[in-house]
């Protein structure tokens, strides 16, 4: 929430400055700015080059109510045990058990669905792999594109094991071996170590990236789940050292919790 408010204030201020004083309009960051005079970033589109810094401007930070209806008995038990700070079951963070409040890694799918217009990610292409860097927690993952198969019995990892391939102009990424301590989304939907995640990225315009996410997890859901299409806007082309250093520092989180979170939730320690 802190990040959302800050991003909105910065964006609004930038639009106001661009409109006043005859300055060149700023590039569009959020869709809601477009009617106010910003202009889309222009460039030569290479649909197979996802390089750059991207921020989500459309699409929810959750898998949706329809996903909740598809929970298996085991999935429902885990879901009920998760006490999120977001969504229809939200409670004061001090009373919940969101891993976010302990600076635990968000994991893959939740990194892909962090707060809208607040957290970005960057793709960097190499001959045999693609790196995806997430602003939140300064985390990253490796997507292998050298033709290797997914591992059969992987040791669970926060970001799992990912391989990618191109299907036309769609970059398809399959991931297995996710650590089940993470939540699948901000609402507390669970994910198991046996889950398989598929991401399908498409760049229909120079400044636009679309993501369709599907989670196949028979332990927790009766059918594949995924939610809506996520739309991202290009922030910086060929971004180098443009991501903010937003480590989740346990000592800082603890200080924030004591000073703000806990008293706001009615708990004084």
Where, residue-wise, is CATH 2.40.128.20 in the chain?
48-264
- Which pairing describes strands 139-144 and 161-167: parallel, antiparallel, or unpaired? parallel
Mean of the pLDDT values across residues 118-134?
Answer: 91
Does the pLDDT at position 109 exceed 90? yes
**Residue 266: which pLDDT band, with cuts at 50, 70 and 90?**
confident
Mean of the pLDDT values across residues 115-130?
Answer: 84
Q: Is 191 helix (H, G, I), strand (E, B) or coil?
A: coil
Per-residue pLDDT tens digits for 192-228: 999 999 999 999 999 999 999 999 999 999 999 998 9
Q: Which helix (H) or strand (E) holds 165?
A: strand 161-167
261 against 150, higher pLDDT: 150
Contact 179, 199 (CB under 8 A): no
- pTM of the complete model: 0.80
Q: Where would I find the H helices in the chain?
A: 2-19, 65-68, 73-81, 108-111, 250-256, 262-264
Distance between CA 150 and CA 63 in Å, rounded? 25
Q: What's the CA angle centered on 227, arms 225 and 232, to 5 degrees?
A: 135
* Domain 48-264, CATH homologous superfamily name and number: Calycin beta-barrel core domain (2.40.128.20)
Bridge partners (DSSP) of residue 161 are 176
Q: Tell me, what's the pLDDT at 17? A: 39
Mean of the pLDDT values across residues 44-58?
Answer: 91
């Amino acid at each position: 929430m802190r990040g959302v408010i800050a991003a909105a204030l910065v964006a609004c201020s930038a639009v106001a400055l661009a409109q006043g004083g005859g300055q060149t309009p700023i590039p569009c960051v959020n869709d809601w700015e477009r009617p106010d005079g910003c202009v889309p970033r222009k460039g030569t589109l290479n649909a197979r080059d996802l390089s750059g810094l991207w921020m989500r401007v459309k699409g929810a930070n959750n898998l949706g109510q329809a996903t909740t209806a598809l929970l298996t008995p085991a999935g429902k038990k885990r879901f009920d045990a998760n006490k999120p700070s977001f969504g229809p079951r939200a409670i004061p963070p001090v009373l919940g058990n969101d891993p976010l409040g302990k600076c635990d890694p968000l994991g893959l799918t939740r990194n892909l669905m962090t707060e809208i217009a607040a957290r970005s990610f960057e793709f960097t292409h190499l001959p045999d792999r693609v790196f995806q860097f997430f602003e939140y927690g300064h985390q990253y993952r490796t997507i292998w594109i050298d033709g290797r198969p997914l591992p059969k019995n992987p040791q669970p990892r926060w970001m799992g094991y990912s391989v990618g391939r191109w299907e036309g102009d769609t970059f398809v990424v399959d991931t297995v071996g996710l650590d089940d301590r993470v939540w699948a989304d901000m609402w507390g939907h669970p994910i198991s170590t046996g889950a398989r995640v598929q991401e399908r990225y498409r760049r229909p315009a120079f400044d636009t990236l679309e993501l369709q996410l599907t989670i196949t997890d028979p332990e927790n859901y009766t059918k594949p789940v995924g939610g809506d299409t996520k739309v991202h806007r290009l922030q910086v082309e060929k971004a180098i050292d443009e991501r903010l250093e937003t480590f989740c520092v346990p000592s800082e989180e603890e200080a924030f919790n004591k000073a703000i979170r806990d008293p706001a939730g009615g708990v004084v320690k």
